Structure 1
Amino acid sequence: MGSCWAALLPRNRSFSNRIIVAFKLKHPLLFIESYGLFSNVHPPCSPISLQFSTAHNPFVKMSQRDLHQLYTRFYDVINLLKSSMSRPNIVTPTIAHCLAVKVGALVHLPVCTSLLTSYSRAKDLDSSLALFDEFSNKDVIFWNAIINAAVENTSYNVAVRFFVEMTEGGGAFDSTTLLLIVSALSHLKYLKCGKSFHCLSIKVGMLWDCSLCNAVLDMYAKCGDLTSSQSLFTWMETRDVVTWNSMVNGFLYNGHPEKSFWCFREMIYFGIRVDGVSLSCAISASADMGELSSGQAVHAWGIKQGYNDDISCSNSLISLYSEYGDIEASKSVFEEMVLRDVVSWNAMIRGLASNGRVVETFDMLYKMQLTGCAQPGVATLFTFISLCAERMLLREGKTVHGFAVRRQMISDVWVTNSLLDMYSKCDCVVKAEFLFNTIPQRDLVSWNAMISCYSRNGYSKEAQSLFKKLIHQCSQLSFSTVLAVISSCISPESLQFGKSIHCLGIKAGLSSNILIVSSLMHMYVNFGDLPAAFMLLERIHVGEEIVCWNTIIAGCTRNGYFREALATFNWMRQEISVMWDSITLVNVISACGNLAMIYEAKSLHGLAIKTFVGSETRVQNALITMYGRCGHSKSAKSVFDFCSSRNLCSWNCMISVFSQNKEGRRALELFYFLEFEPNEITIVALLSACNQLGLSRQGKQIHGHVFRFGISENSFITAALVDMYSNCGRLDVGWQIFTKSEEKSIAVWNSMISAYGYHGNGEMAIQLFHKMCDSGIRPSKSSFINLLSACSHSGLVNEGLSYYRVMLGEYGVEAVTEHQVCVVDMLGKAGKLQEAYEFINQLPGEADAGVWGALLSACNYHGNMEMGRKVAQHLFGLEPENVVGYYIALANLYVGAGGWKDAVELRQIVQHKNLKKLPAYSLLINIDASSTSASPWM
């Protein structure tokens, strides 16, 4: 009944009288036509008949369940209601209600029971409750009808309250009543109350009813008490197919597919005739066990028994074959179905989506809309939204959003939350924010999705602000909320906020959740607070939880704490209950590679082979990269050759190893045999190889490949192209690439600044640096290395020193060895050796050997033998393993200053100590010949 006109009705009228007026107001013609539907129904002769609906009428005292009563015409109302049970709608029970009032049939309890049930089937529980409240003399059938109505409309607590009211009023109940209450308790997962009703059934002697036993058995299974379920199953003397199906489905529901399939086989063994439910559960159990052959056997057995037209069985088969990638078999089952429901279409759509058939998935949605019997529902939209989110199909996702609005399904909270997640994964924060603000009733999932959207896309302040608003509006908090907001703590300024989230998680009792603990560890490691991370690892006693150990090791490796990562791995190996996995080894191997610890890395290689983890592709890729960083390209190639299943990452790792170890030609030769389509990483490694060799022709060919495959906007490729062209003497082409780049990352700016610096145009490099800062990009360590190097090459000493002084204060970049080397080199080239010497002595701590080496080169260039001897003596003690280079540099200094005697003595010392210097080489490139020669990999 619509509230807009119901409010206008007199309040002193009964519900039955009010419905007549209401229906006349809303459907006057339909009301008149409904009166003429039955020729044997005569209109009442006086207005007094309208009062039959009240409790105070002369017919109250008559037997309400008397089948031989005078008013046989009341059954016309019942027949009308029965005819509408197959396709329930709100119009039919409203018509029947009006007709029952007119003929005085509301005094007849069977009519009221049928009318109440009809309202329930039409999902109008309020009308059922109003009709129920009008009667005082209710029998057990009427009570069962209202309890069943509450269960049908998922108001399980209401059903339980009705039972309490029924028994407190002294009313009797039967096995059907108990069956309905047990069904409600199974949905509510109230195991303790369910056991009480089990005992009540035994006490009143109603457990002989097989249907009631099946309901109790199903209740135990739904509540996860399989022991009680099996005990009751063993106790039952009479078992029908529903009993067996309850056990088969109960095992499957509780994650025991093997037992479920065994129970199905027992059904067949004992001669129980299985039905579609049995077959559907057996097929689902086969899918959960990962045994396609068992599912195929059930399929064949079902065809033999004549169940090939069963809808539930066919739906399970579609899901089974789709899960194993046999989409053609799923299509075959789907096309052979005579009748298809919404679940059939959803299963086929979900199968196509999970197997990457994006176009076919949307085609299936179009075909589904053309059918009249099954239209897309919330579950259908959920599949499509998830597909768009996974594949980052923003345009298609917006189309599905529009479809949901047009079909009036946007009010469903599941749909809106899925759309929020889709916009988040498609990096469309503005759309997600707009959708979130338009949701009338947000649940906790909506808040979590929006917070996660902000965190995922780098809007840390917005995520934290929204989290604070959530805390102020409602005290609800889940572990998903904490996980979403923890990921927003990415900057040092968020450390205090992250600690407060940690405290809030402890207060909410979520501190024992492994995912939250891992996220907190990751946050503390990113902030450099290793003691806090290790304290978490110690206090929670993770035991066999490998996730937490991997979080610490991976976090240390990614943030440059390589020695701490190795120490954590050694600590982990001492724990008897913890066993490392491939993720652990990948991160530990990477740490060894960054530290160039070749002997430890080889030990890890042997450990990987010994534990059979070394056969995994990602471990082999990590080993290739590690050997490359240690300068052992031969060992890396050996791992690559014996790699059982190479992927594109394996090829990229090997090409990068050659490129990083100055073996550019071997990198280009390996590219010729590449078995995959190259990606951005491949292109960057090849451009670096061309950069080393000065092969501008091959670089141009790779540039053409970049345009051909539409990856020219990648910032790393743009930076590599700028480096390649500028180092090959084509600064003009590098500048064109730079200016045409729409989104310039810091790597692109650094490459262009470096290019102008090496070409001696320091002024332009400085201008580019300021333009980069004005564009909102914060300079990095590399930016200042390139800038100081440009000032050194151009002789801009004062400018270089001023940038070095403001580097930390204005830009927040701490000086490292590379910056100090640039300053010493800049002062040395300008002949200011004493200033360079004083600069080194004023540095906090001991200066690195590279800094003193730069000063020694400057002394050699300017022939300052006195200072050169002093610097060389210092270097001999600072870096004894590399003294040969310093001996040679000092000897050359003596020769340049005419000190041949001292030079000869140094040469003799080198020969006496059997020291050898790696021979240098020069690369001569004939540009004309290079441009005409055939490429070995084209």
Structure 2
Amino acid sequence: MYTIAVKAQRVRVGPALNGSFLNGTVWPGRQFQRSCVYSSFFFEGLRDERRNHLRRAHGEKNVSGETDDIEHLWKKYFAGPFQWWDNTANKKNDRVPDYKHKVTGEALWIVDPSTPQWAKAIYMKAMLMKVTQSGRVRLVSSEPRVFQGSSQFARKKVFIPNSKHGKSYSQLTSTSEWRQTTPVNDAGLKHLQNATTLREAIAILQSHVQHRIPIDSYMYVDVLQRCLKQKDLESAKQLHDCIIKSRMEQNLFVANKIMRVYNRCGRLQDARKVFDKLEKKNVVTWTTMIGGYAEYDRTKDAIKIYNQMRQEGGKPDKITYLSIMKACVSPPALKWGKEIHTHIRDSGFQSDVHVGNALTNMYTKSGSIDDARMIFEEMVERDVISWNVMIGGLAQHGRGQEAFDLFLEMQRDGFVPDATTYISILNANASTGALDWIKEVHEYCGKSGLDLDVRVGSALVHMYAKSGSIDDARLVFNRMIERNVITWNAMIGGLARHGYGHECFALFLQMQREGFVHDEVTYLSILSGTSATAGDLKWVKKVHSQAVKAQLDGDIRVGTAFVHMLVNIGSIDDAKLIFDGIKHRDIITWNVMIGGLAQHRRGHEAYSLFSLMQREGFVPNVGTYISILNTCASSGALEWLKEVHKHVVKMGLDSNISVENALIHMYAKSGSIDDARLIFEGMAERDVASWNGMIGGLAQDGHEAFSLFLQRQREGVVPNPLTYVSIPSASAGIESGGS
């Protein structure tokens, strides 16, 4: 008797299993790994004489009378098993064929001397697969005798009928599933297993398709998994072409995987095409499409697929809900998130800790922190992630004290904070700026040893620097065994913000010596935070040379930061040189350069740049007009001023208070006091700068200036120091008028 017994998670072929039927396909003592079997599997073999008796009973011909074409019939069977009747489970007479064609009546017997060995091997593998909980087996070594299972059909029931002759084995749930899950070519399997590259594996499958050799679904899935790991879109498309040619595009196992590959590669439109062509969909299909849209913030599309799933009778599972909640993590999606929350509550999934965590996260990120807190408090079971999500959410919404209280409660409940907990609570401290609080959290970190963790250490450096305690930041930084780019950037940024320019530059060079590559944030930290002077031009140029080597000088933000620093230093020509080298500029870059030229009284160049900016398709904003107006005012060219004023009116910015103030100042300084008065009197609202600009413009007419000053006081506008600067000039105007 052939015996395959079950032991733990392994299927073992007993030593009683011998020869003729399997012909060495399975050897005694071999183990089938990671397979969980529902029951023992017995296959009673027939001795040679019994098989000879059957041959005599059936004659030397099969039903079709073509003795030499049995191999062809087996190929025909494997090409379309759904076209054959399957009698293996209930036959009571050896004369009844195991498989009989529904139309032609052609018949096949498994135990037949003419049955080719490859067909017997396939049959045996199918039997093994159908008694495993996983539902399929695949090779795990170069030997075709060792197989590994997977969990694709873990929930399928297996029926073990007993026939008259004592053969006891699982019935295939359907012959079409047999075709989908059964390897049909040992040589092809071996070649695919031994393929060292993705391209080689695809070439094997393409060859199978070309020669019409049936391909098992898991062979496609295994190669698609390689595409997924490598994010290789081109290979996935080649494989998809093979799938279509082999008519397996309706196989859900394959289709779900190809959709995942397309999602990972950002080709949502291709994934959607596969999805739309499927005649039937399972929960994995729906969830895969929803997850793809959620990953790329396509909230509306994800919601549409989710609603379509429910309308068509699909039942979302836990993974579906986790995926759709990921799509609802923004304030505009809150209404959908609440609707999905209702579905989750009705389905009974809310008690699941992972679903509870996802709900808390969804409400937190969509701005409904109170709903998030309610979900958190209702959770029957919590894990560290639950606490981290809630603490992080409170920190994100500026509720630092609540976050810290929850941090303490977490420990009282017996949960041990991890690195994420400390990073979250440190961010909560940032909203309060309390140095004592940061030190208290630091003490907790030290007790657990997590202060040496690179992520926690970096957060501590950043928080200490942000609170102004550079000495504590240095201490943490110097104690760290391991640092990353974020750590260096936090320390460099802290030094830059607090005026330690030279130390900041020294650390910048040390970072490079220790083998770390400066990134965009490094340059922005050192440039945006440092208040450089003309004496610092040398080191600014050195930093720029490093940016050129790193090919970051053309980056919009880095390039703009260099322009801004050089403008402040007074090196306007160097600033213009860098500006010209930035390939892709934004409105901020233009404004910085125009403002720099205006600041250094190079009005003609500023106005030329203003005109060039518009020719290149950029639309000036408030900052642009304020910069160019200052240029016109300093140059005293009234004609320019009126031209710019026309631009302001055309853009609809003439009612912006900052622009109006600049226009008043501009006209007054250019001597056109009537134009300045016209703008001032037409203002819907005025601020201190409006009054100061007008009073200063009327300084030559002391009476009117002083009268305006008194009017300002009556209207309750509080003067600032600049107001009183204008008063002596107005007094001088009164004296010169003979009053």
Give the TM-score normalised by structure 2: 0.62
Once residues 453 and 358 of structure 2 are traced to their aligned partners in structure 1, the CA distance between those partners, rounded to angstroms, is 25
1:657-694 per-residue CA deviation (whole Å, 9 max, x = no partner) reads 4565565634642441354677xxx4334344336546
Which residue number corresponds to residue 499 of structure 1?
439
Which residue number corresponds to residue 658 of structure 2?
720
SS in 1 for 2:263: helix
Alignment of 1:535 with 2:475, yes or no, is yes
**Candidates 379, 386, 396, aligned match of 1:446:** 386
Is 1:486–1:519's contact at 8 Å kept on the other side of the alignment? yes
* Deviation at residue 331 of structure 1 after TM alignment: 2.0
* Deviation at residue 624 of structure 1 after TM alignment: 2.8
Which residue number corresponds to residue 340 of structure 1?
281
Shift in CA distance, 179/381, structure 1 to aligned 2, threshold 3 Å? closer
Shift in CA distance, 359/707, structure 1 to aligned 2, threshold 3 Å? farther
* Deviation at residue 699 of structure 1 after TM alignment: 6.0
Once residues 280 and 403 of structure 1 are traced to their aligned partners in structure 2, the CA distance between those partners, rounded to angstroms, is 33
Once residues 472 and 762 of structure 1 are traced to their aligned partners in structure 2, the CA distance between those partners, rounded to angstroms, is 64
* Deviation at residue 518 of structure 1 after TM alignment: 0.7
Which residue number corresponds to residue 558 of structure 2?
619
Once residues 527 and 270 of structure 2 are traced to their aligned partners in structure 1, the CA distance between those partners, rounded to angstroms, is 44
Once residues 709 and 11 of structure 2 are traced to their aligned partners in structure 1, the CA distance between those partners, rounded to angstroms, is 88
Shift in CA distance, 628/792, structure 1 to aligned 2, threshold 3 Å? closer
Is 2:591–2:627's contact at 8 Å kept on the other side of the alignment? no
Alignment of 1:672 with 2:614, yes or no, is yes
1:797-817 per-residue CA deviation (whole Å, 9 max, x = no partner) reads xxxxxxxxxxxxxxxxxxxxx
Is 2:10–2:33's contact at 8 Å kept on the other side of the alignment? no
Is 1:175–1:209's contact at 8 Å kept on the other side of the alignment? no
- The Cα RMSD (Å) is 4.5
Alignment of 1:210 with 2:32, yes or no, is yes
Alignment of 1:461 with 2:410, yes or no, is no
Which residue number corresponds to residue 522 of structure 2?
584
1:714-759 per-residue CA deviation (whole Å, 9 max, x = no partner) reads xxxx663464466455445555277xxxxxxxxxxx8679779867
Structure with the higher helix share, 1 or 2: 1
Once residues 426 and 306 of structure 2 are traced to their aligned partners in structure 1, the CA distance between those partners, rounded to angstroms, is 38
SS in 1 for 2:450: coil
1:257-283 per-residue CA deviation (whole Å, 9 max, x = no partner) reads x97848956986999976333423422
Shift in CA distance, 476/592, structure 1 to aligned 2, threshold 3 Å? closer
Residue identity in the other structure for 2:404: Q
Which residue number corresponds to residue 145 of structure 2?
238
Which residue number corresponds to residue 6 of structure 2?
176
Shift in CA distance, 268/328, structure 1 to aligned 2, threshold 3 Å? closer
Residue identity in the other structure for 1:481: T
Residue identity in the other structure for 1:720: S
SS in 2 for 1:542: coil
Please show how residues 66-81 of structure 1 align to structure 2 within 5 Å: none
Shift in CA distance, 432/687, structure 1 to aligned 2, threshold 3 Å? farther
Is 1:276–1:313's contact at 8 Å kept on the other side of the alignment? yes
* Deviation at residue 505 of structure 1 after TM alignment: 1.3
**Candidates 708, 720, 726, aligned match of 1:787:** 720
Residue identity in the other structure for 1:314: A
Which residue number corresponds to residue 736 of structure 1?
685
1:541-571 per-residue CA deviation (whole Å, 9 max, x = no partner) reads 336x222111211233345543332232133
Shift in CA distance, 307/754, structure 1 to aligned 2, threshold 3 Å? farther
Is 2:629–2:663's contact at 8 Å kept on the other side of the alignment? no
Once residues 655 and 377 of structure 1 are traced to their aligned partners in structure 2, the CA distance between those partners, rounded to angstroms, is 58
Once residues 751 and 398 of structure 1 are traced to their aligned partners in structure 2, the CA distance between those partners, rounded to angstroms, is 47
Which residue number corresponds to residue 25 of structure 1?
none
Once residues 660 and 361 of structure 1 are traced to their aligned partners in structure 2, the CA distance between those partners, rounded to angstroms, is 51
* Deviation at residue 297 of structure 1 after TM alignment: 1.9
Is 1:178–1:212's contact at 8 Å kept on the other side of the alignment? no
Please show how residues 417-566 of structure 1 align to structure 2 within 5 Å: 417-490=357-430, 494-542=434-482, 545-566=484-505
SS in 2 for 1:176: strand
Once residues 220 and 618 of structure 2 are traced to their aligned partners in structure 1, the CA distance between those partners, rounded to angstroms, is 43
SS in 2 for 1:568: helix
1:874-922 per-residue CA deviation (whole Å, 9 max, x = no partner) reads xxxxxxxxxxxxxxxxxxxxxxxxxxxxxxxxxxxxxxxxxxxxxxxxx
Structure with the larger RCO, 1 or 2 (CA within 8 Å, 6+ apart): 2
Once residues 753 and 394 of structure 1 are traced to their aligned partners in structure 2, the CA distance between those partners, rounded to angstroms, is 45
Is 2:423–2:456's contact at 8 Å kept on the other side of the alignment? yes
Is 1:417–1:449's contact at 8 Å kept on the other side of the alignment? yes
Please show how residues 88-487 of structure 1 align to structure 2 within 5 Å: 176-179=6-9, 208-211=30-33, 233=140, 238-240=145-147, 242=149, 261=198, 275-372=216-313, 374-389=314-329, 393-405=333-345, 408-487=348-427
Is 2:657–2:686's contact at 8 Å kept on the other side of the alignment? no
Residue identity in the other structure for 1:537: F
Once residues 251 and 206 of structure 2 are traced to their aligned partners in structure 1, the CA distance between those partners, rounded to angstroms, is 22
Residue identity in the other structure for 1:584: T
SS in 2 for 1:388: coil
Residue identity in the other structure for 2:658: A
Shift in CA distance, 241/401, structure 1 to aligned 2, threshold 3 Å? closer
* Deviation at residue 517 of structure 1 after TM alignment: 0.8
Residue identity in the other structure for 1:176: V
Give the TM-score normalised by structure 1: 0.50
Aligned length: 538
Please show how residues 561-710 of structure 1 align to structure 2 within 5 Å: 561-575=500-514, 577-591=515-529, 594-596=532-534, 597-647=536-586, 650-651=589-590, 653-655=592-594, 657-658=596-597, 661=600, 663=603, 665-666=607-608, 668-673=610-615, 675=617, 682-690=621-629, 693=632, 695=641, 698=644, 702=648, 705=651
Is 2:4–2:11's contact at 8 Å kept on the other side of the alignment? no
Residue identity in the other structure for 1:788: P
* Deviation at residue 338 of structure 1 after TM alignment: 2.2
Is 1:659–1:688's contact at 8 Å kept on the other side of the alignment? yes
* Deviation at residue 453 of structure 1 after TM alignment: 1.9
Once residues 326 and 439 of structure 1 are traced to their aligned partners in structure 2, the CA distance between those partners, rounded to angstroms, is 37
Residue identity in the other structure for 1:177: K
Residue identity in the other structure for 2:30: W
Once residues 766 and 440 of structure 1 are traced to their aligned partners in structure 2, the CA distance between those partners, rounded to angstroms, is 61
Shift in CA distance, 409/392, structure 1 to aligned 2, threshold 3 Å? same
Is 1:655–1:671's contact at 8 Å kept on the other side of the alignment? no
Is 2:328–2:337's contact at 8 Å kept on the other side of the alignment? yes
% identity of equivalent residues: 21
Residue identity in the other structure for 1:542: E
Is 2:306–2:324's contact at 8 Å kept on the other side of the alignment? no
* Deviation at residue 311 of structure 1 after TM alignment: 1.4
Residue identity in the other structure for 1:302: I
Which residue number corresponds to residue 196 of structure 1?
none
Is 1:454–1:462's contact at 8 Å kept on the other side of the alignment? yes
Is 1:533–1:552's contact at 8 Å kept on the other side of the alignment? yes
Residue identity in the other structure for 1:787: N
Once residues 578 and 270 of structure 2 are traced to their aligned partners in structure 1, the CA distance between those partners, rounded to angstroms, is 40
* Deviation at residue 448 of structure 1 after TM alignment: 1.8
Is 1:382–1:415's contact at 8 Å kept on the other side of the alignment? yes
* Deviation at residue 600 of structure 1 after TM alignment: 2.1
